Amino acid sequence: MGVVAALVRTAFLVDGVYAEAGRVYGLTPQQGQLLCVLMPQPCGMGELGETLGLAKSSLTGLVDRTVRRGLVRREADPRDGRAVRVGLTDEGAVLAGKFHAETCRRMEALPSGLSGAERDRLAVLLSRVVVDNAVPEVFGTSPA
Q: What is the pTM of this model?
A: 0.83
Looking at residue 135, what is its pLDDT?
82
Per-residue pLDDT averaged across 76-91, rounded? 87
Spell out the domains of the chain, with CATH numbers in brackets: 3-132 (1.10.10.10)
For residues 48 and 37, give the distance between their C-alpha atoms in angstroms, rounded to a whole number.
8
Cβ-based neighbour number of residue 133 at 10 Å: 7
CB 100 within 8 A of CB 84: no
pLDDT over 50 at 143, yes or no: no
71, 26 Cβ separation under 8 angstroms: no
For the chain, the DSSP string reads --HHHHHHHHHHHHHHHHHHHHHHHT--HHHHHHHHHHSSS-EEHHHHHHHHT--HHHHHHHHHHHHHTTSEEEEEETTEEEEEEEEE-HHHHHHHHHHHHHHHHHHHHTTTTS-HHHHHHHHHHHHHHHHHTT---SS-SS--
pLDDT at 37 over 80: yes
Predicted local confidence at residue 38, as pLDDT: 94
Given pLDDT bands bounded at 50, 70 and 90, which one contains residue 84? Answer: confident
On the question of pLDDT at 133 being above 80, the answer is yes
Q: What is the average pLDDT value for the chain, to the nearest integer?
A: 90
Average pLDDT over residues 111-122: 94
pLDDT 10s digits, 45-65: 988 998 888 888 899 999 999
**Pair 126, 11: CB distance under 8 Å:** no
Q: What pLDDT, on the 0 to 100 scale, is given for residue 82?
A: 79
**Ranges 16-20, 101-105, 110-114, 132-136: which has the least confidence:** 132-136
Please compute the mean of the pLDDT values over residues 109-120 and round it to a whole number.
Answer: 94
CA-wise closest residue to 64 among 108, 22, 34: 34
CA distance 22 to 31: 8
63/50 Cα distance (integer angstroms): 14
